[in-house]
Structure 1
Amino acid sequence: MKFPITGGCLCGAVRYEIGAKPVRMVNCHCRTCQKSSGSPYMALLFVPASALKVDGNYREFPTVAASGNTVYRAFCPQCGTPLFGRNSAFTQLRPVAAMSLDDPDLYRPELDMWVADAPSWDLMNPGLPKYPGNFWQTAD
């Protein structure tokens, strides 16, 4: 994987660069990811907070997740593209929406989390580990 990894919103008003290897690549099936993305899960790259550089203005919306943490989801205020976020409990990491990458083929999911919230019709990759809740709180 070459760095920086780049991405941005649909209209081009917000661009970003990721300057370090993602810590984890995760399909999150929690209800807040479902509602904010309009899909059964959100494909996320968790990157070191210091490695994410943003150019352009974005808008954040806070929500309380099932974990009880406050999640701040960042969107382009002009076109509405979901871009990245931050979590009150995991300040050293930033989740980045994989489909906002310039090359989404760089995304390689490693696990599914919050599968307890997944709709019954969501066909998940059977080869990926499954976590009923938050992987970060159950990992060793």
Structure 2
Amino acid sequence: MTKLFTGGCACGAIRYSILGEPLFSNHCQCRDCQRESGSGHGSYATFARAGVTLTGEAKHWDMVGDSGNVKTRGFCPQCGLPVYMTFAAMPEIFTIRAASLDEPARYKPQAVTYAARAHDWDRLDPNLPTFAGMPPG
């Protein structure tokens, strides 16, 4: 049996457990992820929504991605930590912030996305496949 991926916000008000392996894990260097993370990129693991159990009440805010589709970011109203994202165009997936994992060492990035928006000071693993935007489907 696969070990659950567990995590949540800093204060524990929001918790998740996820059955299954990530479908995709990436460092995203788009401007939205830079702003949300307060750094040069955001690090994410995306899972099938069917395997996710979520407890606690998150606050949400929507933004429109380059594709024109809405992405909703969930964050803790108490400690402010961004925890997850969902996508209106892809309701079958659930994306978590790698730093929100109880065991962040389990995060294994597979690619760098939106590298066209990277900053020289944000150096990521040069061995990862790198895409100017999102990789093709």
Shorter chain as denominator, the TM-score bin is over 0.9
Percent identity over the alignment is 36
Aligned to 1:120: 120
CA distance in 1, matches of 2:39, 2:86: 20
Contact residue 72 and residue 87 of structure 2 kept, 8 A: yes
Alignment of 1:43 onto 2:43: yes
3-state SS of 1:32 partner: helix
In 1: Cα distance, 2:77 partner to 2:84 partner? 13
Specify every segment of 5 or more residues in structure 1 that has no aligned partner in the other structure, as ranges.
none
Q: Does 1:68 align with 2:65?
A: no
Identify the residue that residue 57 of structure 1 maps to in structure 2. Answer: 57
Q: How does 1:1-140 map to 2 (within 5 A)?
A: 2-135=2-135, 138-139=136-137
SS in 1 for 2:6: strand
Structure 1: how far apart are the matches of 2:67 and 2:34? 15
Count of matched residue positions in the alignment of Structure 1 and Structure 2: 137
> 1:37 is aligned with what amino acid?
S
Q: CA deviation at 1:89?
A: 2.2
Give the TM-score of the pair, scaled to structure 2. 0.94
Is the Cα–Cα contact under 8 Å of residues 45 and 107 in structure 1 kept in the other structure?
yes
Give CA deviations for 1:90-109 in whole Å, capped at 9, x if unaligned: 22111110100000000011
Tell me which stretches of 4 or more aligned residues in structure 1 moved more than 3 Å. none
The answer (yes or no) to whether the contact 2:2–2:19 under 8 Å persists in 1 is no
1:2 Cα deviation from its structure 2 partner? 4.2
Provide the alpha-carbon RMSD of the alignment: 1.3
Unaligned runs of at least 5 residues, structure 2:
none
